[in-house]
Amino acid sequence: MKKLIVALLLLLLLCTVLSAQELSVPVRLMSNDRATTERFVGSDAFGWQYTIAENEFRKHKGDIVVKYKNVALGEIYRADLQNPLQIVLFYRRFNTVVLLDNQLNETASINFSMLPNNQPELIAEAAGLASQNRLWLYDVTTQQIGLFDTAKGTFRTLTPPFNDGIKYYQSDYNYFYWIDTAGKCFAVNLFGSVTPLGSVPAFSSAQWLDSASILIATDDGLFVYNLPGQNSRRVAIVEKSFGSFYYKDQILSIFTNDEIIQYKVTLP
């Protein structure tokens, strides 16, 4: 009988350990380098890394560094890297988007305060690359998301006005995702169909993984948050605090004040 009790206790302990392990996503440390830039933007499939330092947009791989800087437009608020052949830099303070080719040559500069054909001014709060020479925009004046045609210089709204604003956004060619200031998540497609996706708890930074899950950083760490299930799993990184993160192709990059730490991780 004692052996049976001991065996049951061991089985219970094993189940408890396995259950606890399932609450976190395991990671494997790949590298730990000293940071030489103020802000890491991302990387592409060709091995280039993109950073912003001294308000200069940089592309580097090994000893090769390519730079772009536009002093007149002030701070680079956001960089969209989904197409390395057409990079979008958003200068929010000056209400301007600059398009760059893969050598960081400027191919277009669009000031939404000075549109052609006497079109009304747009005040862009969010900007990202869409398909077919278009940009996703959130216009503060109308409080609507729409598509800006870079060739024609015209804007077409897609959503009804919404009052809660945008705390975080991310886009691809076909969808614009956003989290409003109340923590509610939405997506809109190219045809204007808006889909509520659920809500997330308070966070300091985020990155969408797909329409059902999002990576969020909080004071307690880094988590994969499942929107349909409204639950989360901790990502088992060592760092208790960090400045930002970036995930792509199973590589999680963590950026502290003086280090870039990379982990190999398969997120659910």
Query: pLDDT tens for residues 223-251?
Result: 999 999 999 999 988 787 788 888 988 88
- Identify the structural domains of the chain with CATH numbers, from first to last: 31-264 (2.130.10.10)
Residue 24 has pLDDT above 50, yes or no: yes
Q: Per the confidence metrics, is the pTM higher than 0.95?
A: no
Instruction: Give CA separation, 136 vs 22, 156, 177, in Å.
Output: 38, 10, 10
The model's pLDDT over 184-197, given as tens digits with 9 standing for 90+, comes to: 999 999 999 999 99
- Residue predicted with more confidence, 121 or 244: 121
Beta bridge partners of 210: 213
pLDDT at 241: 78
